[in-house]
Each structure stands twice: as C-alpha cells, then as structure tokens.
A = this chain, B = another copy of it.
C-alpha cells in the first residue's frame, strides 16, 4: 500500500475543495507512475482511514477521477485505474518542483546580457534613495483624474462599445486626440491614420525595429547609445555600426562616410536630450541629417522620448515635422508626462507602415488598456493634460537648476557634466580617479542606489559615466543623495 498520507499534500484553506485536492493528488501519482494502470485504488472506507478524511470526500474524489477518465468504477469491485492508460516508468518518491530541470539546457537558449552592473550589492531597503535613469516623479502623477475618468466611463454607454472593439492600434478617440496634440506641439501634419498607440516608447522601438530589421542587416546608432535600444537591435540580429556623439549631437559627417561606404537598413537617432548623454542636436546638424535621410532613402527611427520637457527655450521641432519622404518613424511617450504606471507611447509613420504595425502589435499584445487610453483621450481634450505638463515642467526645471548647482559646487573636480536643455537626467562623467563600479558598490552599501544607466564596461570602457535622474526626487532627497556621494568621493 502506498503511503498516501505522505504522498498527497492538502492545503487546509480548502482551495480548491478537499475532494479535488485528493483527486489531483491521485492523478499525479498515476501520471508519475506510482500508481500503475490496472491497479485498484483502496476502498473508499480504507482510503478515508489512511488519509484521515471523511469517507464522503473520498467518494467525491473517486467520482471526479471517473468523470475525468482516470479510473473506472467496477460493480462489486471498486475503482480501478483505467488499464489502457500508457505505462509510465516509476520514479523515486523524492518530492521536487515540477519545474526543476533534469537536463542542462543552458547552452540551448538565447542568452541576453544582464544590465551592465557590478552586482546588485543589495536591493533597495527601507529608507533607501534610488536615483533612476530619468523618470517622472510618481507623486505628481494625475491618478485622481484618471480614477474619475474611469468611474465616468464605467457608467457610460461607451464602456460596452470600447470593450468589444478589436484593437486597431489604440482606442480611436486617443488616436485622434494624439494626432491633434502632436500637430500642435510638434509641428506635425498627421491624422489618426499615421499613428499607433503602444505600451510606452520601449515597445514602440521594439515594434518599429522588428518590422524593419532582418538578421544580418547593417544599422547605425550613436556612440554611446540608449543601451535598451542596442539590446533590441542585437536580439533582432542587426549588425550595429556606431557614430560618435559630440556637443552638437550625432556626428553627421561620420554618418555620411558610413552611408557612402555601404547600404544601411536603418538609422536610430535621439535628437532631443540624447540618451544617455542628454545632448540636443543642433539645427545645422538636423538639416544635414534630413538631407542624408532623403538622399540615401534611409529608414530612420527618431526617438523623441523627452520632447515635452525642454526648459531652456521651446523644444526644437522633430526631424519628422518636415517633409522627409515617409522614411521616418517618430516615437514618443506619454509615460514621461503621466508617471511610471501609465505606459502609453506611440509611433507616427507613413500609413502603410502603420497598417503593418497594427498587425504586428496584436501578436505581442493583443489589445491595449482601453480604459486608460480612453481616459487619457478625455484628459487631453479637456485641457487637463496641458495644465499638468505646465505644472510639472516648472517643478522639474527647478529641480534641474538645484541639482546642477549642488553638483557643480560640491564636485567641481570629480564630476563633469553639461547642464542639459531639458529632460529628466544629468549625464555625470566621473573623473578617472573615481572608478564608477566602486562608487556604485559603495553607494549601495550606504543605501544610495544609483540605478541610472551606467557606462563603464563592455564595449564602452572609457566613459565612467552615469545617468542621474533628478526629476523624480524632492530637493531634500537630492541633497541627501549628494551628501552620501560626497562621503564616497573624497
């Protein structure tokens, strides 16, 4: 007799019902070869005694097994495991997770690199200060406005209608509100047909690249480049070529030399507050770049993730706002405006490309959050989004001033940076006397977690640089963070 009491574990909360738990336990014993097809189960009375449950529970469990086709009830004889079930080799009784691996298949899988980090010495604990890559302050997120919109939507006729629509790359209302928003703020000249809504800029980059890049394709990016975009291009099998970034942005002469030498499938460029360096591309470079895009018919992803936060003057219009022959895919995001839990971005592109993107999006994310999308559309149209941008822009501009001044005053000889014209992060270059890997480890030990993009190993070894997100932290917290950094760098 099997030691049923030991072999079958019961969850005393009664989820699922105990008789189901018993049935499932027996099924596992059958499937693991511990109960052989053709054998009789103990009588219901005996089983009840063995596992100390009510006999009625055992009867229910046996009936369940019969209904599922595992056992058959033979009159006068009891319940027998169906004889023609395939026989399984019996194994030992050692319990282990059913997801532990029995073979070594690490070699067999695609391996993605970890983020470049010297090891997470410790997870942020209580009272930790986290410096991010340049994210908005969640305390400023307009949650109340969204909750109010959700309540209204649920009471409206609209709710059932949008619930049952097939996703055509975003709720129609948000697509039209977004095209108006972009035409006004970015000098575009588009309609809903040129637009698809995504879960933030990251998905937008992935989708645009996944449609363009075939394994082995040559593409151009900046050096350094947004590392998460690099990982996408690598995953898609692109051969990546790099063009330097200086104070005026991507070096367009270098780019032209590359373009003369061979055919490139795609260019990825961040003209505004370049990631990671925060540089804004100069007007002259922009015109040169546009000419190259047209001359070489170069597919171009223009990543303009931070457009709405430009403090010095009005932001420079996107490349996409001029006549570019349909080769530019323009990517932006509402997440920076709304806060980290609101993942809504978009791609603006030529109509045929948008059709393909709508089809592709369904494959990776069959539909978006239509409640959130509808609410946002209302907030754009009733002017709340505009007021929210104005308000938070002022706060972030102050935080930029404050952080820049503090760092200049305290770290004149150890940290170099140019105050950016906008965005949510500083690009701190540490003097070579202070190797970044050590700083990250020491800071983490003091509960300061520098989680912005760090560039100090891998193919870019000489940068010793870090993104320092200033927008998400109050002035107090930034002062505390810099005090800890001062202790480390002395």
Contact = CB atoms under 8 A, between A and B. Distances in A.
A52 interface: no
A121 to B, nearest CB: 15
Contacts of A435: none
A369 interface: yes
Contacts of A353: 109
B189 A97 contact: yes
Given A64-B313, A283-B82, A112 B325 contact: no
Contacts of A297: 103, 105
Nearest to A102: B325
Interface in A170-222: 183-185, 187-191, 194, 199-200, 202-203, 206, 210-212, 214-215
A351 B287 CA distance: 50
A414 to B, nearest CB: 26
A322 B98 contact: yes
Contacts of A150: 143, 147
Please tell me how many copies of the chain the complex holds.
2
Contacts of A132: 164
A228 B367 CA distance: 13
Given A15-B386, A24-B187, A112-B356, 16 more contacts: A15-B184, A20-B314, A30-B287, A70-B283, A86-B288, A98-B323, A101-B325, A102-B326, A112-B359, A130-B164, A138-B163, A143-B150, A163-B341, A202-B364, A206-B364, A341-B371
A370 interface: yes
Contact count band on A? 35 or more
B206 A98 contact: no
Contacts of A76: none
B111 A316 contact: no
Interface in A64-110: 64, 67-70, 82, 84-86, 88, 91, 95-103, 105-106, 109-110
A412 interface: no
A211 B164 CA distance: 32
A459 interface: no
A411 interface: no
A287 B326 contact: no
Contact of A317 (B24, B86, B231): B24
A339 B163 CA distance: 9
A347 to B, nearest CB: 11
B340 A112 contact: no
B138 A86 contact: no
Point out which of A101, A151, A163, A451 has the most chain B C-beta atoms below 10 A from its C-beta: A163
Contacts of A188: 98-99
A267 to B, nearest CB: 15
Given A114-B359, A130-B164, A353-B109, A320 B98 contact: yes
Interface in A26-40: 27-28, 30-32
